[in-house]
Structure 1
Amino acid sequence: MKIKVLILLFCLPLSEAYSKVYGPICQWYQDPSSSMAIHWVQTPPSPDTLSAGEVGANDQGFENLLSYRSEGQEKWISSQVTNRLFGNTKNKVYSADLKNLRPDTRYTFKIILGKKQLGIWFFRTAPSKIGEGITFVTGGDMFHTRELLDPMNLRAGTEDPLFALLGGDLAYANGVDGNRWLEWLESWSRFAKTPHGALIPMIVVIGNHEVKGAAYRPTNAPPRSEAPYFYSLFYGFDEGSKYAIDFGDYMTVVALDSGHTENIASQVQWLNKTLEKRENFTYKFACYHRPAWGTGVKEDAVDIQRLWSPIFEKHRIDAAFENDHHVYKRTYPLIAGKRDDLNGVMYIGDGAWGTRTRGIAGNWKVKRPFLAHAESVNHLIKVKVERGKVTYKALEADGSIIDEYQKINLKEK
């Protein structure tokens, strides 16, 4: 009977297994080779879910516990668990912030609520050296419907990435709908698992649909309080939603806020200094929500063209991942909007992970000659980073290849 119960816990989402728990998810906001933040959301128990005299796991008399261990280790290590209110609800976010982990190592963790073990999960830390290469997936605009979200989350896991770079508009909750966040959490924790059963760590970027009023105000951005769910769920935003994640000294990912809770111009100095400090990194990527160089389905973010693109070009980043427009696009490598295959920056993405897509004008090749590929299709982008080259592959949920591009890295020593 115990074996059957354990199997049931693995098959069901936590919300069905016990006391309305959504998650867990893994997040990187510090060194990905030695740390992992784990979050889950727990709702208060309703009286009809408890038998007479039973106390729910949310009761103040019960603790939330998380223990972890590396592969091959017998002893479990207990981690401190903190909690805070989730947005403007009575739900709570619980987090364990694991430190001093070993690079390129598989870890097991378990969560106990009260006296009940909710399950066992796995994650892997990043390698400190590039070795034979790493793979990640990226995309944004994730959740119009579960029918679109779930298959793409499953595709993300099937591709066995080291992490997922999620470019905003995650739950489409517009800063007010906590239930959509719960559904998003449930889908990710259930479907976005590698073939080896590991959870996929995420690096997250804010989008306009994280904010009340779906705000895109590049010169007059609303305060962080207008995105209560985003900022209460994730770690790492004490100084705003811009930050950099460094993978050893071989790759950096710079996350930016394209006018949703911080002005475009106010990030210029930070962006330049951040990339200056990483001048010797072999691979450099940026990710933000609103596209600078889009397909024309919406207006381009001219403030980003004017203020960020010259910095990208100066520091020769490999690619900028853009979202928001619900299509797929890839530009040629660009300098000041003109094709430059040797020195230019490629802009790729445009956000159609799990949204209804928009139509692209048939004359895009004439009107927007900086575009190498444009298509109205749901997708994620798989990025393979290896010594001497980067390969970008846009995939549909069934694994069909939409577009593929490989860039030889002349910067590699």
Structure 2
Amino acid sequence: MRTRVALVVTAVLAAVLVPLPAGGAAPPGLGRILLTSTANPATSQFVSWSRTKPRGGQRVVTVAPDGTVRTTPAKRKLGTTERTAGSGHARYVAKVTGLRPSTRYRYRIVSGRDATPWRTFRTAGRARDTFSFLQFGDTQVDNAELPARIIDRASRRHPGARLVLQAGDVVNRPWSGREWADLHRAVNPSGQYRSWISSIGNHEQCDVPSPCRSGDARGFRSYFHGPDNGFRGQRRTWYFTDHGPARIIVLDSFGSDLARQRDFLVKALRSNRRPWSIVLMHRGPFAARGDRDNATMRRWFLDPLEKHGADLVLSGHDHSYARARKAGITYLTSVSGPKYYDTSARDFSRNGATRQRWAERTSTYQVITVARSALRVRSFVAHRAGGAEPDAKVGDVLDSFTLRR
């Protein structure tokens, strides 16, 4: 016991004596800090960051409420390049483990005698613990403008939200360094205090008609670090993570491995022992845009979703708002940026789904509260462009519904 106490005291002193850079800023050359979720976020946390130049000794120091200090060495992971992401940055990630559920920890990134200011994160609760999270649709363009304001407003209005989900197309041109810089301005400071989960879109991996380069989505894969669930052939762009009463399953709807993802989806749904299954994918099984047909998504994913008990499917891609219902599953498509398409019920109705609510030229964010016996979704109006329908004011609840067990 005496040895253990001595180690703890030494660690505390080491953490306290690391100098804070002048002005409370991060050390020069360090930035783009982002929390992302592990497979077991009640007891662990991913912390990742970039450096303009590689540097050894990267680590994260965390402090528990009782003063216990933990130092976690970081690993260098895939970084960005000038050609594929507009800048060449080294990227680091640390997986902090041995944490307690529903507990707030202080953390800082340390390298040598440099350190960031202290920040905090809160671990996920147990399977019985109610929690809420924010959800955004496509941001894609001008992230430092409207999307940044929407994310900031939602984060301030709902400070108790423990998690953020975003439905892909985080940038428009993945080779543009400015677009990634704008994205990180929009994501932060929210992404430094709560985990950020994003499904990869088609723009990040250059599945677009115009010339594009991304190096197999190198920018996205550098910045967004997903967990490994031990599924054979799994990529870090599709995975699941368990938060409170929900399993959140993230898919890559423009991936080249849809057959493998289908098998993964079946396993993730069938093995879920929590009350709710939420699926996040950029392109959903039904298109909210009138001239689209999401037959590929229905071919690979609709049968597993219906047979194995999905509850809520969140998507973007169609730059409009739509909520639909089929076979006991609710499908919600949304947009959180300034780019819009006209919406239609065509792809829903001709494939057996009922569109229940819609909006055009209206950006929203969702607040989703998950309890053991109920899942409540509220969609807030965040911006209205010219010609927006239906009538609503910014800040109003556009749509609200509750799923019950």
Name the TM tier (shorter chain).
0.7 to 0.9
Displacement, 1:7? Answer: 9.2
Distance in 2, Cα, partners of 1:25 & 1:385? 24
> Does the 8 A contact of 1:29 with 1:203 survive in 2?
no
Of 383, 388, 410 in structure 1, the residue corresponding to residue 368 of structure 2 is: 383
Post-superposition CA distance 1:112-135 (Å, at most 9, x none): 34433321110000011333x210
Instruction: Show the counterpart of 2:259.
Output: 265
Instruction: Show the counterpart of 2:71.
Output: 78
Matched position secondary structure for 2:188: helix
Distance in 2, Cα, partners of 1:114 & 1:284? 43
> Does the 8 A contact of 1:206 with 1:257 survive in 2?
yes
Instruction: Show the counterpart of 1:320.
Output: 313
> Does the 8 A contact of 1:152 with 1:396 survive in 2?
no
Instruction: Show the counterpart of 2:148.
Output: 150
| Structure 1 position 97 matched with structure 2 position 95 | yes
| Structure 1 position 358 matched with structure 2 position 341 | yes
Task: Within 5 Å, give how 1:6-405 maps onto structure 2.
Answer: 8-9=23-24, 14=26, 18-44=27-53, 60=55, 63-73=57-67, 75-89=68-82, 90-131=88-129, 133-145=130-142, 146-158=144-156, 159-160=158-159, 161-174=161-174, 176-190=175-189, 192=190, 199-214=193-208, 225-236=215-226, 239-240=234-235, 241-247=237-243, 250-259=245-254, 261-278=255-272, 280-331=273-324, 333-335=325-327, 344-350=328-334, 352-360=335-343, 370-376=354-360, 377-397=362-382, 399-405=395-401
Task: Flag structure 1 segments of 5+ consecutive residues without an equivalent.
Answer: 45-57, 217-221, 336-343
> Does the 8 A contact of 1:349 with 1:381 survive in 2?
no
Name the amino acid aligned to 1:395.
F
CA gap 1:162/1:265 in 2 versus in 1, 3 angstroms? same
Task: Flag structure 2 segments of 5+ consecutive residues without an equivalent.
Answer: 1-19, 83-87, 229-233, 383-393
Distance in 2, Cα, partners of 1:268 & 1:125? 29
Displacement, 1:26? Answer: 0.4
Displacement, 1:313? Answer: 1.2
> Does the 8 A contact of 1:38 with 1:97 survive in 2?
yes
Displacement, 1:274? Answer: 2.0
TM-score by length of 2: 0.79
Distance in 1, Cα, partners of 2:238 & 2:403? 27
Displacement, 1:364? Answer: 10
Displacement, 1:30? Answer: 1.8
CA gap 1:93/1:251 in 2 versus in 1, 3 angstroms? same
CA gap 1:364/1:231 in 2 versus in 1, 3 angstroms? closer
Name the amino acid aligned to 1:92.
A
Displacement, 1:407? Answer: 1.9
CA gap 1:307/1:85 in 2 versus in 1, 3 angstroms? closer
Displacement, 1:256? Answer: 0.9
Aligned length: 358
Instruction: Show the counterpart of 2:231.
Output: none
Name the amino acid aligned to 1:356.
K
Distance in 2, Cα, partners of 1:251 & 1:210? 27
Name the amino acid aligned to 1:349.
T
Over the matched positions of the two proteins, sequence identity in percent amounts to 20
Q: Which runs of 4+ in 1 moved over 6 A?
A: 362-369
Matched position secondary structure for 1:310: helix
Displacement, 1:177? Answer: 2.3
> Does the 8 A contact of 1:290 with 1:323 survive in 2?
yes
Name the amino acid aligned to 1:246.
D
CA gap 1:283/1:21 in 2 versus in 1, 3 angstroms? same
Post-superposition CA distance 1:257-276 (Å, at most 9, x none): 112x3343332222212211
Name the amino acid aligned to 1:144.
V
Q: CA RMSD in A?
A: 3.0
Distance in 2, Cα, partners of 1:365 & 1:34? 40
CA gap 1:306/1:125 in 2 versus in 1, 3 angstroms? same
Post-superposition CA distance 1:19-61 (Å, at most 9, x none): 24333110003201011111112224xxxxxxxxxxxxx6x5x
> Does the 8 A contact of 1:298 with 1:325 survive in 2?
no
> Does the 8 A contact of 1:85 with 1:91 survive in 2?
no
> Does the 8 A contact of 1:292 with 1:301 survive in 2?
yes
Displacement, 1:380? Answer: 1.4
Matched position secondary structure for 2:337: coil
Name the amino acid aligned to 1:233.
Y
Distance in 2, Cα, partners of 1:115 & 1:71? 24
